[in-house]
Amino acid sequence: MDAKSVYVTRDGLHELKTELEELNRVKRPEVLERVSQARSMGDLAENSEYTAAREELSLIDGRIEELSEIIKRASLIEGSHKGGKKAMVQLGSVVTLSVNGKKEEFNLVGEWEADPKAKKISHESPLGKALIGKSIGEKVEVEAPAGKVVYTVVSIH
């Protein structure tokens, strides 16, 4: 991983820390126990349980390392000014957009928190990049698989 900051909201940072603690305190010890039990079964060369447990342990250790690095480089995004309106879209903004007569609300977050299904979009995504710095009433054009989509900024919180 490079040394750039990882932007996360307070909630996102809490979720990352919770996942890390769960891996360290619960899942890793469970898998270590499975490795130990499988090892005691004898011949490791043909012991599929041992191999599977070692692979799972490796995945957990990799995720622990990744989460630790993310948390270490986390730069907290301060959300909206406690319900107040903002003049322009920035990281942490909740933006209401109008597209084809429909209104949709998006939360602009760092890439590690992005969840399009939950309307959390990364500032690195095409729509996120297009929205940064825009004001109410401005239009943004984004290339989508179905063609260009034009969004109008309705409100920023």
Query: pLDDT digit string (tens) for 66-112?
Result: 999 999 999 988 754 445 567 889 999 999 999 988 999 999 999 88
Q: Where are the domains of the chain?
A: 6-76, 80-156
Contact 114, 121 (CB under 8 A): yes
Amino acid 2: pLDDT: 52
Contact 153, 97 (CB under 8 A): yes
CB contact burial 8-38 (16+ within 10 A = b; e otherwise): bbeebbeebeeebeebeeebbeebeebbeeb
> Which ranges constitute the DSSP H helices of 73-149?
126-131
CATH for 6-76 (1.10.287.180, 3.20.20.10, 3.40.50.720, 1.10.286.10):
1.10.287.180
Domain 80-156 has CATH 3.10.50.30: yes
Per residue in 24-57, pLDDT tens? 999 999 999 999 998 888 777 778 889 899 999 9
Amino acid 112: pLDDT: 87
pLDDT at 22 > cutoff 90: yes
